[in-house]
Structure 1
Amino acid sequence: MLPFTAEDLKAVRAETFIEHLDYFESLASTNSWALHTHCTPSPSERETSFPALVLTGNQTAGRGRGNNAWWSAAGGLTFSLVVDASQLGIPLEKQPLIALATGLAVCETLARQAPEHTLQLKWPNDVFIAGKKVSGILVETSASQPGLVVIGVGVNLNNSFLSAEAELQSLGTSLYETTGQKFPLAPTLIDLINAIENRLYDVAGDRGELMPAWRRYCLLTGRDIRINTGRETRAGTCLEIDDQGYLILQTEDGRERIISGTIEHF
């Protein structure tokens, strides 16, 4: 049985803001496909209407931040949204909030699916349940078309980590493994897309609702952490994630405001 039927795909188009949909039974990376296919140098060369969705039932070479890979197996939910930030009213300086908005949308959606379990956000773009990673987000832009943003989402929904490497089994989990329940792929995808849309409009509208909601799920607040910024590694206590999406780190030298990085220890 295919993960997504023709009726499923029809429902996705009808019940979300998606204008264009590419579906593959198997694909190496939805983000790579989206970047290479939809983020062409010139708008005149594109025939795609945005937002566009790239969806696969089986991602074989998913990518995470930096050099990380995204492990997935049958039953997982992997997709990429291609949005035109200017069309949504999101200026260039606010694009860093897109990853946080997406993470919050995923976290809130999964929290509704598993109300008896604790969902948390690890800055900047990981979703945790019961202390293990259940979802990751990878946001990328094209150098030639910075207004187009590719939002890659991987959710461990109905898959099992029994086939994963031992190291991954200790770090990750799925909604199924945590709750003991199976979840319908297409309705969950529709809920996720609609939640992401709503949070993207929060970024555009500057209503001050995004980051207070994000901080309610923050996994790192008050924890001693080590963060690699790409230039150096810093250690200290995470005080909060501020309204611009920066991590506020209390170090021996004082407070530091960090725009991006990889949490190496928490």
Structure 2
Amino acid sequence: FVSYVEYHPQIDSTNNRARRIALGEEPLQGHASPRRETLRKALPCLILADHQSAGRGRGTNRWWTGPGSLAASLLMPPVAEWPQLFSPSAATRSHRPQQESAWEGPSAWCCCWSSPDAAGPFGDPGPFGDAGSSGDPGSFGDAVSLGDPSSLGHPGSLGDAGFSGDPGSGGNAGFWGQAGPEFPPGLIGLGTALAVLRTVQPRVPGLAVGLHWPNDVFAAGKKLAGILVEVLANGMVVVGIGVNTNNTVQEAPDELRPHLTTLRDLSGQIHPHEHLLLELLEHCKDVFSLAVPYPDRVASEAHRWCLQKGHLLKVQTTGGVIDGLCEGIGSRGELLLRTSDGLRRIFSGSILR
């Protein structure tokens, strides 16, 4: 479902780049100036980088850059347009991009590189790398939030934009002036986390893999991946994805090592990013194609994979800290927390414990 791909050998942050494009502050690669019609044709847009100098986590947290990790951002249209984007009649897009400099229509990806010397994300030695030739098996920058280790499992439930806590708010106005059905915004991060889970689970058979609300993937009791979702003022959606793939815990700062894991450490193998990313995008398409007409089904799957059920949690919300027993994930992607005052439904927050 991706229409346009940007690759940057180095960038401040893929999410920052997506924000600047969405807000008309910068043009797409290969274009002289920002134009609304050009951007419309390019959505959804995938932004990749080998290295991020200022990768962002939730709030003011930085992201640890582990060589070999996978980081990318999807720039998506407002959720009001997702029924059209993910409808069964939507044009099938190629999974193998061709290196072009101009938009070719809905049946092909358009790819641009910020350096003429870069071979591109599916080449050698492009950003996905080649473990045999470069020794760096495909660095994509940041995957884990730095700062307070207690926040490691929650590097961006809803990003800096956040939500007000109203489960029906956000994203229904339509960037192009279209109205659309209500879509639970909390399912954006959870749905993406489910896509990551479907991608990584076959690569670590026999290990316990699941979700931590609001949108993290854990394996063997430690964080493997995180999602950072930002809904912008114009309704457009930025989905940052960080997966600890071919990096190793031994390269992480000492204070982070007890809290994270990587595919390489768990499996003892290198996982080529070109295959992993293509599978991840396919799973994203499948999840959101289901979530648009049947959001409760995606929420039900997230509930099934939630590893926090039965655990006491402390949740920071805009209204204060709430303690309770986790009962899973509700039909709109909200956290179900049994407190002394009864069942609470939390649509936005960060897990403190």
Aligned to 1:30: 14
1:54 and 2:38 aligned: no
Counterpart residue identity of residue 108, structure 1: R
Aligned to 1:101: 191
1:86 and 2:176 aligned: no
* Rounded Cα–Cα distance in structure 2 between residues aligned with 1:69 and 1:261: 18
- TM-score normalized by structure 1? 0.87
1:73 and 2:163 aligned: no
1:224 and 2:312 aligned: yes
* Rounded Cα–Cα distance in structure 1 between residues aligned with 2:181 and 2:24: 20
Which stretches in structure 1 are left out of the alignment for 5+ residues?
1-16
Deviation readout 1:43-99 (Å, 9 max, x if unpaired): 953522111000012223221222222212211000001111233227454232111
Counterpart residue identity of residue 113, structure 1: R
* Rounded Cα–Cα distance in structure 1 between residues aligned with 2:328 and 2:275: 34
Q: Secondary structure at the match of 1:228?
A: strand
Aligned to 1:188: 276
1:39 Cα deviation from its structure 2 partner: 3.5
Aligned to 1:10: none
* Rounded Cα–Cα distance in structure 2 between residues aligned with 1:185 and 1:122: 24
Deviation readout 1:136-173 (Å, 9 max, x if unpaired): 10010211x11x11110000000012222111111111
- TM-score normalized by structure 2? 0.66
Aligned to 1:162: 250
Give the CA RMSD over aligned residues.
Answer: 1.7
The answer on whether the counterparts of 1:58 and 1:73 sit within 8 Å (CA) in structure 2 is no
The answer on whether the counterparts of 2:295 and 2:332 sit within 8 Å (CA) in structure 1 is no
Aligned pairs for 1:104-123 within 5 A: 104-123=194-213
Aligned to 1:260: 348
Aligned pairs for 1:169-248 within 5 A: 169-206=257-294, 208-248=296-336
The answer on whether the counterparts of 2:12 and 2:52 sit within 8 Å (CA) in structure 1 is yes
* Rounded Cα–Cα distance in structure 2 between residues aligned with 1:68 and 1:231: 21
1:224 Cα deviation from its structure 2 partner: 0.6
* Rounded Cα–Cα distance in structure 2 between residues aligned with 1:44 and 1:56: 23
Counterpart residue identity of residue 130, structure 1: A
Q: Secondary structure at the match of 1:257?
A: strand
The answer on whether the counterparts of 1:238 and 1:248 sit within 8 Å (CA) in structure 2 is yes
* Rounded Cα–Cα distance in structure 1 between residues aligned with 2:50 and 2:281: 16
* Rounded Cα–Cα distance in structure 1 between residues aligned with 2:244 and 2:304: 22
Which stretches in structure 2 are left out of the alignment for 5+ residues?
26-33, 84-179
Counterpart residue identity of residue 36, structure 2: E
* Rounded Cα–Cα distance in structure 2 between residues aligned with 1:86 and 1:249: 29
Which shows bigger deviation, 201-210 or 118-127? 201-210
Aligned to 1:7: none
Pair 120,246 (structure 1): closer, same or farther in 2 beyond 3 Å: same
Counterpart residue identity of residue 47, structure 1: T
Counterpart residue identity of residue 253, structure 2: E
1:102 Cα deviation from its structure 2 partner: 0.4
Q: Which has the higher helix share?
A: 1
% of aligned pairs identical?
36
Q: Whose Rg is larger?
A: 2
Aligned to 1:8: none
Counterpart residue identity of residue 80, structure 1: S
The answer on whether the counterparts of 1:97 and 1:244 sit within 8 Å (CA) in structure 2 is yes
The answer on whether the counterparts of 1:94 and 1:203 sit within 8 Å (CA) in structure 2 is no
The answer on whether the counterparts of 2:336 and 2:343 sit within 8 Å (CA) in structure 1 is yes
Deviation readout 1:166-209 (Å, 9 max, x if unpaired): 11111111110111111001110111111111111122121642
The answer on whether the counterparts of 1:226 and 1:234 sit within 8 Å (CA) in structure 2 is yes
Counterpart residue identity of residue 63, structure 1: R
* Rounded Cα–Cα distance in structure 1 between residues aligned with 2:4 and 2:349: 33
The answer on whether the counterparts of 2:56 and 2:62 sit within 8 Å (CA) in structure 1 is yes
Aligned to 1:21: 5
